[in-house]
Structure 1
């Protein structure tokens, strides 16, 4: 135990607690008796000079009673937290106040703090004496309770476990270490890393959705690459994503300089850099690009797609003797998307997140294929329209992913200027989208399912989607402009299936 003496500025504490809340907490403290503490992340944030999002309070017992009474006093909303914890939340006047009783049988605040996850989250300030004083009275500083040396670690930028029993108490803390390292930009202390390495198998005891939540919080930061490197180095990552381990040491074609695993990591590193200044890479992206990236969820999905974009390569790896022992990964994009869906189901991702990332993985080679065609001067309007339609709202994301993928491959046989080609192709496709695709998608359709039923006597089925899609595409290309032309195309498309059906009926 590394106890550190220290104090906290009283004005910072009062600034956190508005006058109405201090008054009600003082009344509640007199009613309930016992000790009341600011504890955990709220103290960490105060010491860092940042504004805490929530107010975390600790009491020796009866946290839900405290919360219930505060909700009545303030007219706020009461929410019980957790099934097995004595904890509750009060939401009042846009403030969130969380109460929690001492955990795991702790009898004192010092014992309770030592049972927390990390030293930087194991500090407290006693509030009840402070609340009874007029704001102008008393000392300018209040004592900091710091039984594990969290303030020193905070000043040194270190993440350290509060005790050797931290991970056995809650295995999810194995990941929380890296989440706080990522969000705070801190380094993980060597002894903590070694303890994680030895106890990493405990993570299997944590609920998959809790694991996924911690991973998402890591992936939402600009430090995800460094953290995933560390998690891999000590073996923790393979407890969660063993599919990635298959890429270690797997050689790639000469356009790459890294094995499959290191290339995945490098793509994530480049994605982090690109997302910091995306307009420098896709200068023509404009407002649409920035709107696409305005969602934190979308940036998180792009980072996931970068790390997992080549998930299908180990399963599709082959060496072609008939092509001079050339290494190939045919259909790795499609296979990778299916493997990713299995991973996402295992981690209980939401359906939207699962399909959006799968869409990016499945389409990540399309910009390269189209760039090859454009380089030969053979890119048609039809191919451009099909790419825009297939990519949908993820067109900017697919090109950002392609840029990161390209930058991560620096082998001898890489195509020079590939990033410039991708940026030029994106500009061209955006022009196609604006001039050809969007006007048709926002206009009334030339043909509907009812037209196919009433005008051509067709019965609803999978063919409807193919016909209506072909009509829309032909309209985007300018090959038809009115309903009569659309019906003629539909009639021609339906003739083949209808003739075969009639022939089949004649044989029966």
Structure 2
């Protein structure tokens, strides 16, 4: 935040924009109040781009629809029961909501929706003071009953009123605090942190879909680590992503293994930096970031102390992939996200065998084949997984992966291994062997695929020769 004066100027410019000015004039002519509320006001103060135009009014949903229809290109009745009408005015989408004065039953997250007649009361029910500011229109009067400007200046998150009441009403606000910590770079006030810690179990009454959506928003911020730390420190992570606090393994006095929790957060940060440097990755990439965060979650259950006090985590990649699948299913992520994350967790150690001895071209092809569509993400995860402070070791691993990527590129250019397929497809196999669709076709396909991986392209003639010899032996 540069200065209050700059923020007021930004708000003035926003109020002068055609869609806002048109809307304000129309509501004033009809005798209703209108205010720009929440995120747009906050972002104007922070000098951030305003992407959403949210308004509050004392007009009813029916009146809102009647008022905006003549001045808008389109209207959406997106939440009439909750008092919200959306419209597109001069190419901008706006959402206008009737003042609310909801109450909660204390047992579920579902509010008893009550329309109000006061902007002050509407702001009181919002999550944080920095989101509880409004700009009255067309008067351009800033309404800040909960000292949101002061919190913006101090970069602090507090709630309007007691945090216990706010989080008791809607426990998801605790996860929003973690997200805003990362998104805005703010610190949560001590009283608010204490309330989050006390009420962490209340997050269980929130729908899984809302929790997953908030977790996704957190991971897509520029630096999710601060928010993840807050979830862990307050105990919220134990309820929404328990595999992360479980990474806080006891580090032995001889440091025979690194701090897995801190290592995972570092890998996440490094993966985000690499994501930004790879044009082929469109960020923020949820799959990549989730895989980076979860890549070592198999370690707690595979940890063993061997002779000499050496700590091992054998097969934690495979175990971790299964745990990631289970957790993401519980959180109801889509199938593609679950499969992709689990595959990256399973493969994240594969490269480290490359430094122990030169891979054959066949091994390189199999690496590409196994990674499939996740190859570019696997490149990032593997590089990000190097967090050693030993500069010589880090350089050796980096040079080795440079070599592997160069070999992948060279073989791909020569053989087209970006999509490894046999020289003959299913139709050709059936024609050559004179068989119908069956398991034999699948077995023949696998045989030719193994040849392709071992030897590279054979050409149709040689592939047919090998196929006939294999078939005759069967």
Q: Mapping of 1:438-453 within 5 angstroms?
A: 438=417, 446-453=423-430
Tell me, yes or no, if the aligned pair for 1:257 and 1:411 is still in contact at 8 Å.
no
Superimposed CA distance per residue, residues 157-178 of structure 1 (whole angstroms, 9 cap, x where no aligned partner): 1121222221112111011111
| Aligned counterparts of 2:26 and 2:324: Cα–Cα separation in 1 | 54
Distance 1:248 1:46, change over 3 A: closer
Counterpart position of 2:92 = 95
- Structure 1 portions without partners, runs of 5+: 131-141, 279-288, 500-508
Is 1:122 aligned to 2:99, yes or no? no
Indicate the SS of the match to 1:242.
Answer: coil
Indicate the SS of the match to 2:249.
Answer: coil
Distance 1:199 1:487, change over 3 A: same
Counterpart position of 2:336 = 352
Counterpart position of 1:159 = 157
The offset of 1:381, in angstroms, is: 0.8
Indicate the SS of the match to 1:383.
Answer: helix
Is 1:110 aligned to 2:120, yes or no? yes
Tell me, yes or no, if the aligned pair for 2:344 and 2:374 is still in contact at 8 Å.
yes
Tell me, yes or no, if the aligned pair for 2:368 and 2:418 is still in contact at 8 Å.
no
Question: CA RMSD for the aligned pairs?
Answer: 3.1
Counterpart position of 2:57 = 59
Which range moves more in the overlay, 249-258 or 190-199?
Answer: 249-258
TM-score by structure 1 length? 0.81
Tell me, yes or no, if the aligned pair for 1:125 and 1:144 is still in contact at 8 Å.
yes
The offset of 1:495, in angstroms, is: 4.7
Tell me, yes or no, if the aligned pair for 2:57 and 2:96 is still in contact at 8 Å.
yes
Q: How many residues align?
A: 456
Tell me, yes or no, if the aligned pair for 1:312 and 1:336 is still in contact at 8 Å.
yes
Indicate the SS of the match to 2:94.
Answer: strand
Counterpart position of 1:506 = none
* Match 2:399 to one of 420, 426, 429: 420
Q: Mapping of 1:173-212 within 5 angstroms?
A: 173-212=173-212
* Match 1:388 to one of 345, 368, 372: 368
Distance 1:196 1:387, change over 3 A: same
Superimposed CA distance per residue, residues 420-447 of structure 1 (whole angstroms, 9 cap, x where no aligned partner): 22232222222222222348769xx742
The offset of 1:361, in angstroms, is: 0.7
Is 1:455 aligned to 2:438, yes or no? no
Q: Mapping of 1:303-382 within 5 angstroms?
A: 303-320=289-306, 324=308, 326-374=310-358, 379-382=359-362
The offset of 1:58, in angstroms, is: 0.4
| Aligned counterparts of 1:260 and 1:371: Cα–Cα separation in 2 | 22
Tell me, yes or no, if the aligned pair for 1:255 and 1:412 is still in contact at 8 Å.
no
The offset of 1:119, in angstroms, is: 0.5
Distance 1:154 1:479, change over 3 A: closer
Indicate the SS of the match to 2:198.
Answer: helix
Counterpart position of 2:283 = 296
Tell me, yes or no, if the aligned pair for 2:27 and 2:33 is still in contact at 8 Å.
no
Tell me, yes or no, if the aligned pair for 2:71 and 2:89 is still in contact at 8 Å.
no
Which structure is higher in RCO with an 8 Å CA cutoff and minimum separation 6? 1
| Aligned counterparts of 2:377 and 2:253: Cα–Cα separation in 1 | 25
| Aligned counterparts of 2:440 and 2:262: Cα–Cα separation in 1 | 44
* Match 1:429 to one of 408, 425, 433: 408
Superimposed CA distance per residue, residues 265-309 of structure 1 (whole angstroms, 9 cap, x where no aligned partner): 232233244445x4xxxxxxxxxx421x2x1253x3222111100
Counterpart position of 1:502 = none
Superimposed CA distance per residue, residues 349-371 of structure 1 (whole angstroms, 9 cap, x where no aligned partner): 12221122111111101111233
Tell me, yes or no, if the aligned pair for 1:110 and 1:147 is still in contact at 8 Å.
yes
The offset of 1:462, in angstroms, is: 4.8
Distance 1:51 1:79, change over 3 A: farther
TM-score by structure 2 length? 0.86
| Aligned counterparts of 2:10 and 2:466: Cα–Cα separation in 1 | 76
Distance 1:17 1:179, change over 3 A: farther
Tell me, yes or no, if the aligned pair for 1:252 and 1:259 is still in contact at 8 Å.
no
The offset of 1:25, in angstroms, is: 4.0
| Aligned counterparts of 1:256 and 1:396: Cα–Cα separation in 2 | 32
Tell me, yes or no, if the aligned pair for 1:158 and 1:189 is still in contact at 8 Å.
yes
Counterpart position of 1:86 = 83
The offset of 1:261, in angstroms, is: 2.7
Distance 1:178 1:489, change over 3 A: same
Indicate the SS of the match to 1:78.
Answer: strand
Q: Mapping of 1:176-255 within 5 angstroms?
A: 176-251=176-251
Which range moves more in the overlay, 324-333 or 233-242?
Answer: 324-333
Counterpart position of 1:487 = 464
Tell me, yes or no, if the aligned pair for 1:367 and 1:398 is still in contact at 8 Å.
no
Distance 1:403 1:495, change over 3 A: same
| Aligned counterparts of 2:318 and 2:453: Cα–Cα separation in 1 | 27
